[in-house]
Structure 1
Amino acid sequence: MIKILIKNNVFPYCLSILLTLCCVYQQCWANGDPGKINALIKAIKVDSIGGQLPQLSYQKIAPQVVKVRVSVDLPEDVRCDDWRIRILPAFQPTFHWAPHLTPSDNHIIAQHVFRSPMMMLTDQRKQLVIIPDVDLLNNTLARDWYMDMDAQKNQLTLGRSLAQVGEHVLFKRKSGNIYTRGKFEFAFYVLAFDDREVAENPFRRPLAFYWKNWGAGLFEKGEPISGDMETYVRHSYHWAFQSWVKQVWQSFEINGKKVGAPTFIVNTTQSPNYPGKTNEREFRSIWNQAWFSSLRSASGLYRFAKRTGDQELLDKANLTKELALSYPKKDGFFYGLIGTEMEETIAGEGDKKSVRSKGWEHYYWGNSNRNPYTWDARKSPFHLLDMSWTALLMLRWYNELEKDPRLLAYAEDYGKSLLKVQTADGFFPGWLDVETLKPLAHLNDSPESALSVTFLLTLYRMTQKEEYKVAALRAMQAIMKEIIPNGRWEDFETYWSCSRVGAEDWVGKKVLRNDMYKQNNFSMFWTAEALLECYQITRVKQYLKIGQRTLDELLMTQAAWQPHFIPIKALGGFGVMNADGEWNDARQSLFAELIIRYGKELKQREYLQRGLAALRASFVMMYCPENPDTKAQWEEAWPFFGKEDYGFMMENYGHGGETNAKGLGIGEFTIYDWGNGAAAEAYNRILDHYGAYFLQGRGL
């Protein structure tokens, strides 16, 4: 029997409403047994609104899917800070999933992070999934829907409350919500399963349900963008190497050898149209790191230049390759960036200070400062993740673009050193001290090791040296045992980038209220890719099965609908983690081909569509005429933008957890290697691998 919690009413009125509601309940169940839903839900408790108790009705959508509708007629406006529906399962789950963390009773999962909104509970056979009705959310233009998962109380909550951003980026309830008189409606779907598939992959069926009902239709209509993506690629390269070339392109010499690459980051004050004084956001630098990889972008530029016969761009791509080969090494380990000294300047009395580079004659070698130890890149430790990524890109350049023997030699020199630091349990350390080359304290048993697996297996393919394969498979076994079953997706970005909540006391521990780790989808990508590589080398089906499960967990962070409160196209774009606010993050260009590869291997159309949607979403944030919605938002935020800025592209949207149609959510910088240059690389690579016919969405 479903129970209804009635708050703030006198007893006689409560009894009357309760009897009425019970009649609705009995009639509804009589019209069709909802099957396993009844067995998995012990109670649904619904708050009243201004003394009015909402009515529940049920509609059987499919054998394992029921839609629950909640409605009430309000005779007058009502202030209600927090209205809730609480769902109590009839079993004790051993696995919990929600899209965002709510570490205390004051936190909520605000609709800002409703990319594929759902909550799920499972044990070894049973699974309960709750999905808000986003069609109703859009139709009513709601801005106050939320979810919450309390694992300790074994309770799922849907509700309506205004939200405010707390920590970067978690959400808390905010008072002041008003319900206008008239009909109040709310709805959600309940999916329930009881079979062996639950334990094998709890994500597949909810994802398929979501894509079938919302994502596929939008994709087939041409969202998030349609037309030839080559236009966006040309905008990227025109911006970087013509209209913004003085701000972006860096060319200098190292030990008498000419090198070059686009700078790490530029901002709106560097626009040719900016009326004020330039201020560089961060130290001028060029990175080869897991996010910002100049070598990755250069490989895309190389492909484009070869295809179009553009010798000038080909020369620039090769200069970036020369720079990568110039990074100095210590016993096979190598630095991740080259930077310049910076200085503060003041143009005149009363002017604000600005920061500018001293120039490349004042360069130094360093490593990514996104780490637990220091913000100073000159003092930052070697990061094995960054080195494995760069070395992998060198092997891919050698294998697919040109047989430069220096690339293979540089990568294998690193590979030999990598084997020496593998731990007894199979993992690779997180960071090494730059002087002693000894492992430091953090992430020594993390999914970052998966990227080293892919690198070593690629090195094995090219050299046929068995030791690389043996080490890679041993690391993969450790990840399969320690990381995947527990959802321990912790990496450098999870704690030591912009979202540092939990860095002091959550590392290696679950947030108890949610029974979840703070998670980052970058780790899921590396792991899903490594598992596919393991399968393709060994043909052991278990790698493919677990790889699909990991890919599906990654896809839980992909937008599969178009919210009314996101004023740019969102389908196919990715968030980042369960404690941040991004939409359409630049990582989607990196993820796109892997999703397509799984689609090809498993012959699943959904994956092919999702992969192409991710690639298309990679260009949505670009300022250009082909993106009218995005262009309008850029001009709301930066009215001086003009045609010289076509191609400027922020890495994501809504990062701070807030958006509106007046430019809130638009950023102020472009990272070429984690934005337009990265998106162009993904397009050029996928074009070379699958052809223009596939990129146009034909033959899926």
Structure 2
Amino acid sequence: MNKFYYIKTTVFIFAFCITILSYSKSNAQLPKELEAYISAIDYGKLGNLAPKVEYAEVSDQIIKVSVYFQIPDTLQQDDWKMQLKPAFVPDFNWAPHLTPTDNHIIAQHVFRSPALIVTSQSKQLALIPYLNILKGENPVDWYMDMDAQNNLLTLGLSNSEVDGHILFVKKPGAIFPKGNIEFGFYILYSNKKEDLFNPWRKVADFFWNNWGSDEFKKVMKTHASPEKYIEHTYNWAFNSWKKSVWQDIHIDGKDVGAPTYIVNTTQSPNYPGEVNERGFRSVWNQAWFSSLRSASGLYRYAKQTNDKKLLEYALKTKELALSFPQKEGFFPGVIATEMEKVEIGGREYNRSKGWDNWYWGNSNRNPYTRDAHTAPYHILDMSFTANQMLLWYNELEKDSRLLEYCKTYADALLKKQSPDGFFPGWLTLDSLEPMQHLNQSPESAVSALFLLNMFKATSDEAYFEPALKCIDAIVETIIMQGRWEDFETYWSCSGYGSKNLVGKKEQRNNQYKQNTLSIFWTAEVLFEAYQLTNNKKYLEYGERAMDELLMYQATWQPPYIYVRAIGGFGVMNADGEWNDARQGLFSELIIRYGKLLNRNEYIERGIAALYASFEMMYCPENPQTKEQWEKAWPFFGPEDYGFMMENYGHQGMTSGEGIGIGEFTIYDWGNGAAAESYTRIVDHFGKDFFKDLSFD
């Protein structure tokens, strides 16, 4: 009797201890080192189940948090979340996507380098989802949220759907199956001065060292040489698709020309139906679509391969750029044809009236009009084009007309600089007076870069000091606030905030709507300013801008992205693209910062961005992408090799059946632009730069 009693008591005590240990683990105490940074963490329940939570120190000031549920039976729950409240009041918040209401979330679709970051004058805290779990099969999608007004950082699980272009909201109906559910994240914290000044460096380094570098080296072993993609590009533009792409134009007795701004799948030689042109047939020279930039790449390639025919095409495009008329130094950014609707078989099709019906105009991505006829002069576009002329003059051929054109513009530009150092956003067509939008924006960085290059080309001090004045204004008023507003931020396809957010933060997130182009332009001009002045301030702020830019770069391969993604870039914190064409434009600058700072991470990132700029091309060298193209457009064949959409997943959705693949190519913001990036890097660093790389 006593023996049975003692056995029963022992079993009870053992079970009780196990229960206590289990309870202790499932309610693990916050590590003491985090108490100064975190006030509380609330781990929600799944049904009536509380999670088991474990904390593990990874390295100095990095804690890994693991969250486990053991679900006895399938349950339906719309949302599960973990909410963390910092123990300090941040004065700076950063998240990769805007969430203007409590129902909005940062869906996993935009998890390129997913992090939530908050800083004060003395503390920094960052949350990073544990991507290894996301690489596997997960029954419910992950999300994040930044509620700056209530000082809450959220990571969670919920279905989602797209709201507008492009935000995300929670969608009811999540199902959690019987079995184990694992969730996890990292907590990075710091009180170091360098981390408070640059809150992205430690985070970006963490992403690349934990995932990006290995993914990059693995993908590089599967990639063809960029030269193979360039062969496809130029064969497509000047051979198999030439009828649709190349435009012969006659201006003032001169035969000039360039590839058209945009073509779509209905213009394929394999398309079985009628051509229906997208947009208006045109050629652009602006900060986005630059025929002159693409032509410089074609020129470099023609010289490298001794191809006289391609050289002729490049020179015709240069002549077209020089034909754009100047009005008191300022000039348009677009030459276009009139369009018409043609009825065939009871259906209407959009067609050009041809180059006998052309006109000068400007980019219709602006706050005032969608009509290129009446669109105002854009300072950014003119400065970008003039800078491309200078690069041609300095690096390709000493055509004095290019320098003279630039000098005329530069002298006019200086007269428009405001006392605060910035340049206006837009000028009226008639009186050339500044208009009301973006008159204090990072778009001015491109004008400053142009003036620095004018100084280098002419040694004229009149261009140098105004450039530095502009750069200092950007440093003082833009960088530390993350006010990365430019034309694309509000007046392209993502119009969210164009009516009420310009110049203002999204209050719930304590963030501006921001775009990567203006971050890049700022990092670029700061690099050049440092090279000319040796002032370390410019390098420090340039590195900060560069690291913020890198937070939009993909550092892993999600299973729900059906093309190679590593190294590719997104666009802004309110859009859905992966592998956007801008990554080719960014590539060399990332490498140059890497060389200057002796940072191999940057060099790898820059090369990854370059290779990603060819990833969306339809060709055998991109087998996953090719498969997606053929699911979306089954008529595609070898004549279409080289066709390349500017990005992937633009609408915020993807699938293995071709959703996420687009239907057009912009030569100057796609294959032609990517080719220019590679040929420029080869000219600057030599082909051995790529041969010497090791991806073991």
Q: What's the TM-score bracket when you normalise by the shorter of the two chains?
A: over 0.9
Instruction: Give the Å deviation of 1:23.
Output: 1.6
Q: Equivalent residue for 2:6?
A: none
Asked whether the 8 Å contact 1:56–1:71 carries over to 2, the reply is yes
Q: Which residue identity does 1:501 align to in structure 2?
A: Y
Q: Which residue identity does 1:604 align to in structure 2?
A: R
Q: Equivalent residue for 1:329?
A: 326
Q: Equivalent residue for 1:194?
A: 191
Q: Equivalent residue for 1:239?
A: 236
Q: 1:616 to 1:259 in 2, by over 3 A?
A: same
For residues 699 and 435 of structure 1, the distance between their equivalents in structure 2, rounded to whole angstroms, comes to 56
Quick one: percent identity of the two aligned structures? 58
Q: Which residue identity does 1:98 align to in structure 2?
A: A
Instruction: Give the Å deviation of 1:140.
Output: 2.5
Q: 1:486 to 1:22 in 2, by over 3 A?
A: farther
Deviations 1:54-94 (A, max 9, x none): 11011111121111111111111000101000011111111
Q: Equivalent residue for 2:9?
A: none
Report the 3-state secondary structure (helix = DSSP H, G, I; strand = E; otherwise coil) of the residue aligned with 1:42.
Answer: strand
Q: Does 1:625 align with 2:620?
A: yes
Q: Does 1:103 align with 2:100?
A: yes
Q: Equivalent residue for 1:694?
A: 689
Asked whether the 8 Å contact 1:580–1:655 carries over to 2, the reply is yes
Q: Equivalent residue for 2:465?
A: 470
Q: Does 1:23 align with 2:24?
A: yes
For residues 301 and 384 of structure 1, the distance between their equivalents in structure 2, rounded to whole angstroms, comes to 26
For residues 18 and 86 of structure 1, the distance between their equivalents in structure 2, rounded to whole angstroms, comes to 26
Where do residues 602-641 of structure 1 align in structure 2 (5 Å cutoff)?
602-641=597-636
Report the 3-state secondary structure (helix = DSSP H, G, I; strand = E; otherwise coil) of the residue aligned with 1:139.
Answer: coil
Q: Equivalent residue for 2:68?
A: 71
Give the counterpart of 1:441 among 418, 436, 449: 436
Superposed CA RMSD in Å reads 1.5
Q: Does 1:413 align with 2:414?
A: no
Where do residues 498-537 of structure 1 align in structure 2 (5 Å cutoff)?
498-537=493-532
Report the 3-state secondary structure (helix = DSSP H, G, I; strand = E; otherwise coil) of the residue aligned with 1:353.
Answer: strand
Q: Equivalent residue for 1:392?
A: 387
Q: Does 1:680 align with 2:675?
A: yes
Give the counterpart of 2:420 among 417, 421, 425: 425
Instruction: Give the Å deviation of 1:220.
Output: 1.8
For residues 119 and 571 of structure 1, the distance between their equivalents in structure 2, rounded to whole angstroms, comes to 21
Q: Equivalent residue for 2:305?
A: 308
Q: 1:604 to 1:142 in 2, by over 3 A?
A: farther
Instruction: Give the Å deviation of 1:143.
Output: 5.2
Asked whether the 8 Å contact 1:224–1:570 carries over to 2, the reply is no
For residues 117 and 565 of structure 2, the distance between their equivalents in structure 1, rounded to whole angstroms, comes to 23
Deviations 1:156-186 (A, max 9, x none): 0000010010021000000010000011111
For residues 255 and 48 of structure 1, the distance between their equivalents in structure 2, rounded to whole angstroms, comes to 74
Asked whether the 8 Å contact 1:244–1:271 carries over to 2, the reply is yes
Where do residues 165-204 of structure 1 align in structure 2 (5 Å cutoff)?
165-204=162-201
Q: Which residue identity does 1:48 align to in structure 2?
A: K
Q: Which residue identity does 1:209 align to in structure 2?
A: F
Instruction: Give the Å deviation of 1:224.
Output: 8.5
Q: Which residue identity does 2:235 align to in structure 1?
A: H
TM-score (norm 1): 0.95
Instruction: Give the Å deviation of 1:21.
Output: 6.8
Q: Equivalent residue for 2:365?
A: 370
Q: Equivalent residue for 1:562?
A: 557
Q: Equivalent residue for 2:544?
A: 549
Asked whether the 8 Å contact 1:450–1:475 carries over to 2, the reply is yes
Q: Does 1:358 align with 2:353?
A: yes
For residues 19 and 504 of structure 2, the distance between their equivalents in structure 1, rounded to whole angstroms, comes to 43
Asked whether the 8 Å contact 2:140–2:174 carries over to 1, the reply is no
Q: Equivalent residue for 2:4?
A: none
Instruction: Give the Å deviation of 1:239.
Output: 0.3
For residues 428 and 125 of structure 2, the distance between their equivalents in structure 1, rounded to whole angstroms, comes to 46
Q: Equivalent residue for 1:403?
A: 398
TM-score (norm 2): 0.96
For residues 282 and 539 of structure 2, the distance between their equivalents in structure 1, rounded to whole angstroms, comes to 39
Report the 3-state secondary structure (helix = DSSP H, G, I; strand = E; otherwise coil) of the residue aligned with 2:185.
Answer: strand
Q: Does 1:158 align with 2:155?
A: yes
Asked whether the 8 Å contact 1:224–1:617 carries over to 2, the reply is no
Q: Equivalent residue for 2:585?
A: 590
Q: Equivalent residue for 1:601?
A: 596
Q: Which residue identity does 1:101 align to in structure 2?
A: L
Asked whether the 8 Å contact 1:95–1:515 carries over to 2, the reply is yes
Q: 1:18 to 1:131 in 2, by over 3 A?
A: farther
For residues 245 and 619 of structure 1, the distance between their equivalents in structure 2, rounded to whole angstroms, comes to 20
Q: Equivalent residue for 1:288?
A: 285
Asked whether the 8 Å contact 2:224–2:621 carries over to 1, the reply is no
Q: Equivalent residue for 1:209?
A: 206
Deviations 1:225-267 (A, max 9, x none): 5231100000000000000000000012101011010000000
Instruction: Give the Å deviation of 1:25.
Output: 6.4
Asked whether the 8 Å contact 1:228–1:696 carries over to 2, the reply is no
Q: Equivalent residue for 1:342?
A: 339
Q: Is 623-632 or 66-75 further displaced after alignment?
A: 66-75
Q: Equivalent residue for 2:82?
A: 85
Q: Equivalent residue for 1:219?
A: 216
Q: Which residue identity does 1:412 align to in structure 2?
A: K
For residues 277 and 418 of structure 1, the distance between their equivalents in structure 2, rounded to whole angstroms, comes to 46
Asked whether the 8 Å contact 1:87–1:155 carries over to 2, the reply is yes
Q: Equivalent residue for 2:276?
A: 279
Give the counterpart of 1:487 among 457, 482, 493: 482
For residues 486 and 320 of structure 1, the distance between their equivalents in structure 2, rounded to whole angstroms, comes to 40
Asked whether the 8 Å contact 2:200–2:547 carries over to 1, the reply is yes
Asked whether the 8 Å contact 1:224–1:616 carries over to 2, the reply is no
Report the 3-state secondary structure (helix = DSSP H, G, I; strand = E; otherwise coil) of the residue aligned with 2:83.
Answer: strand
Asked whether the 8 Å contact 1:36–1:193 carries over to 2, the reply is no
Q: Which residue identity does 1:457 align to in structure 2?
A: L
Q: Which residue identity does 2:390 align to in structure 1?
A: L
Instruction: Give the Å deviation of 1:528.
Output: 0.3
Q: Equivalent residue for 1:118?
A: 115
For residues 538 and 685 of structure 2, the distance between their equivalents in structure 1, rounded to whole angstroms, comes to 24
Report the 3-state secondary structure (helix = DSSP H, G, I; strand = E; otherwise coil) of the residue aligned with 2:393.
Answer: helix
Q: Which residue identity does 2:549 align to in structure 1?
A: L
Q: Equivalent residue for 2:491?
A: 496
Q: Which runs of 4+ in 1 moved over 3 A?
A: 16-22, 25-29, 222-225
Report the 3-state secondary structure (helix = DSSP H, G, I; strand = E; otherwise coil) of the residue aligned with 1:467.
Answer: helix
Report the 3-state secondary structure (helix = DSSP H, G, I; strand = E; otherwise coil) of the residue aligned with 1:479.
Answer: helix
Structure 1 gap ranges (5+) = 1-15
For residues 24 and 484 of structure 2, the distance between their equivalents in structure 1, rounded to whole angstroms, comes to 47
Instruction: Give the Å deviation of 1:275.
Output: 0.4
Instruction: Give the Å deviation of 1:20.
Output: 6.8
Report the 3-state secondary structure (helix = DSSP H, G, I; strand = E; otherwise coil) of the residue aligned with 1:259.
Answer: strand
Q: Equivalent residue for 2:12?
A: none
Structure 2 gap ranges (5+) = 1-16
Q: Which residue identity does 2:569 align to in structure 1?
A: F
For residues 566 and 558 of structure 1, the distance between their equivalents in structure 2, rounded to whole angstroms, comes to 14
Instruction: Give the Å deviation of 1:688.
Output: 0.8
Q: 1:225 to 1:458 in 2, by over 3 A?
A: farther
Instruction: Give the Å deviation of 1:141.
Output: 4.0
Instruction: Give the Å deviation of 1:585.
Output: 0.2
Q: Does 1:319 align with 2:316?
A: yes
Q: Equivalent residue for 1:12?
A: none
Instruction: Give the Å deviation of 1:191.
Output: 0.7
Asked whether the 8 Å contact 1:211–1:560 carries over to 2, the reply is yes
Asked whether the 8 Å contact 1:224–1:572 carries over to 2, the reply is no
Report the 3-state secondary structure (helix = DSSP H, G, I; strand = E; otherwise coil) of the residue aligned with 1:165.
Answer: strand
For residues 17 and 633 of structure 1, the distance between their equivalents in structure 2, rounded to whole angstroms, comes to 52
